[in-house]
A and B are shown apart, each in its own frame.
Chain A
């Protein structure tokens, strides 16, 4: 036992002596924040994204690779609003990293910087997997991205103060291009105003709020519960009276339910990237919005 203990101490000492990387180590919970961190960090930030666009962030586990990344992170950028409540707290408590504990600068929750929609009056699990703080899928409104980006750049400059000027320059450049893009998107997206749609999960609320689309039903009977045959039949008959233009799902949602409804209601099924990487074209935040709008406009006619 003493021998193994000695080995452990020697290994620890050697590992501890390894030099730290110069870059700001960022662990982003979702691809949208990873993309934002890359825009603002440039070559001064090394960004690892915990989930990919084909994963449902509600159902992630605190797996070993994430614990290791959390241990080494200088900054963790997540949505908050309990979207990652199933795994993020474990990353904080199991990683041995004081920088990313709640309340520390290394812990950034994007949802704190935006006004959230659908704050429930009744917080009860009988309503499904509701989020007490409001709808956490905040990244599909470009104004939210703007607010989060400003706050994130400030936070990065605070943690990596030697490179503060770099982050300030990056946010200025980003905001200039982003604001121009918003003007372009709002003009392009005008035909979508008032378009009635059915969504898979209540994760499109901010997109609808921005573009003026009307969400008239969900494939899930309650948030977080998988679509059931009886609920889909009810929805189909409801659409007979109040038709929708399209069934919209995120790339990580199973296509089955959307295709079922699309065939029977004779409306197109639209797959949105939902986040960066969800489709081939959605490579960064700009192209995420470009591709989202293009796919919606294709069925708006």
Chain B
């Protein structure tokens, strides 16, 4: 159309007479174009307006959808299992049926100064074990608190652990204070209901009174390495065996430990450690019987130094312990004591009264155990215990001050051993039944054949799986 008009224009221009008429045509064309443009402009404007409105609506819809989702997410997200208002509370129930060929009341580890802890086997027949109540929570961004009380079957509440620890110290440092299981060894920090056997290894019974609790502080430092390398220092009142209640100012005992651990591939994890403990017992008593059968109270004052090494290795196919897994562990300790032993039969036969002389001992012990889960829920374990009498030098006897070796029956030369075999069945990770057989030669010249059937249940907050 435009082309035709162009030709018409050209022709019109070529004819001078039609000049005016061509002007009018041009004006008409211009007007038409302008009108067209105006119409289109208007329509584009309207469309743009509608588009803007649509976009705003879409934006609003997106926003409200996002808000609805956030609300739904928040509604469906519960707070974590514990917060500072609701601590994690858990309870451990345990009990034993025990069959022992020797009287549990006569239990002793001959050759070693009694450590005073509840180291004997459980009562014969049915007996309730310790019911443990654990409460833990973060206190604030800086501290966490843990308390574990054990309700003794005969009544009374014992505080196993009650401590605070820091959460916010920089550079891998953790400070713990209060009462806590010492970080020496491997088994010492593990709670009894998590053990793989009903009882502690002989070396723990003899040297640590079952488990050493420290009243004091522990500073642990984890190095910034890919292998776990941690060091710990403990300062304590030193009032647990091999220490004693001292009633003295200052630091009663101290401990050092260092651990190294890592993985070998995906299937194996290991940890080795060494530890050292030093205490200065002051009038640390123990009871014995003299050669006439009367009671004797002996007490030791001096220094006690305990050094040990430990190792644990865990294997599971691809690191998945659910079906099969193997755990090997072993610890060795050496206890040196040097001081004065006081013999006192005043409360019994009263033949010698009170006699004191030097007492030096250098004794050691170790255990090695393996536990194999051979199918889901079922495990079998074996443990060997060995204590070495080594050297024990009793000045009262050596210097013929009166009492003879027969008046110190518990210190007779003897290196106890024990073999333990156990099977346990765990219907879930919160329940366990264990059958344990042991041939215990702790007493000089006697073998105690023990059979235990034990149950362990935990309820409440999910406990953490310590390595």
Contact = CB atoms under 8 A, between A and B. Distances in A.
Interface of A: 1, 4-5, 8, 11-12, 15-16, 18, 51-52, 54-56, 59-65, 67-69, 71-72, 80, 82, 85-87, 89-90, 92-98, 101-103, 109, 111-116, 119, 125, 129, 132-134, 224-226, 252, 254
Interface stretch (B121-129, B313-321, B435-443, B444-452): B313-321
Contacts of B271: 63-64
Interface of B: 69, 72-73, 76-78, 80-81, 138, 141, 144, 165, 167-174, 220-231, 233, 254, 256, 258-263, 266, 269-271, 276, 278, 314, 318-323, 376-377, 427-430, 459, 462-467
Contact of B220 (A55, A60, A96, A125): A96
A164 to B, nearest CB: 22
B319 to A, nearest CB: 5
Nearest to B324: A254
A150 to B, nearest CB: 11
Given A65-B269, A98-B170, 19 more contacts: A4-B256, A8-B233, A15-B224, A59-B429, A60-B319, A62-B465, A65-B262, A68-B261, A72-B226, A90-B465, A93-B167, A96-B171, A101-B167, A109-B80, A115-B73, A132-B78, A134-B76, A224-B428, A226-B376
A68 B169 contact: no
16 contacts: A11-B223, A54-B319, A61-B466, A64-B260, A64-B263, A64-B271, A69-B226, A71-B172, A96-B172, A96-B173, A96-B174, A101-B168, A111-B77, A119-B76, A129-B429, A133-B77
Contact of A112 (B73, B229, B266): B73
Contacts of B81: 82, 85, 132
B222 A68 contact: yes
A119 B172 CA distance: 37
Given A5-B233, A68-B229, A129-B428, A94 B320 contact: no
B69 A52 contact: no
A56 B465 CA distance: 14
Contacts of A225: 427-428
A95 B222 contact: yes
Given A68-B262, A101-B141, A116-B76, A1 B464 contact: no
B323 to A, nearest CB: 6
A87 B464 contact: yes
B262 A64 contact: yes
A12 B229 CA distance: 11
B228 A64 contact: yes
Given A1-B256, A115-B73, A94 B174 contact: yes
Contacts of A12: 221, 223, 231
Nearest to A128: B428
B227 A65 contact: yes
A65 B78 contact: no
A54 to B, nearest CB: 4
A238 to B, nearest CB: 23
Nearest to A16: B171
A125 B223 CA distance: 39
Contacts of A69: 226
B467 A64 contact: yes
Contacts of A61: 269, 314, 321, 465-467
A1 B278 contact: yes
B464 A96 contact: no
A4 B258 CA distance: 11
A93 B175 CA distance: 11
A4 B261 CA distance: 20
A225 B261 CA distance: 31
Given A65-B262, A68-B226, A97 B172 contact: yes
Contact of B77 (A64, A112, A125): A112
Given A61-B467, A65-B262, A115-B73, A15 B223 contact: yes
Given A67-B222, A71-B222, A62 B73 contact: no
A173 B86 CA distance: 42
A114 B73 contact: yes
Given A1-B276, A65-B228, A80-B80, A98 B167 contact: yes
Contacts of A109: 80
B379 to A, nearest CB: 14
Contacts of A52: 266, 318-319
Contacts of A11: 223, 231
Of residues A64, A69, A71, which shows the largest number of chain B Cβ atoms within 10 Å of its Cβ? A64
Contacts of A18: 224
Contact of A125 (B72, B228, B321, B459): B459
A67 B138 CA distance: 19
Contact of A115 (B72, B221, B256, B262): B72
Contacts of A85: 81, 462, 464
B231 A93 contact: no
Contacts of B259: 64
A98 B464 contact: no
A64 B261 contact: yes
A275 to B, nearest CB: 13
B190 to A, nearest CB: 12
Contacts of B260: 64
Nearest to B225: A68
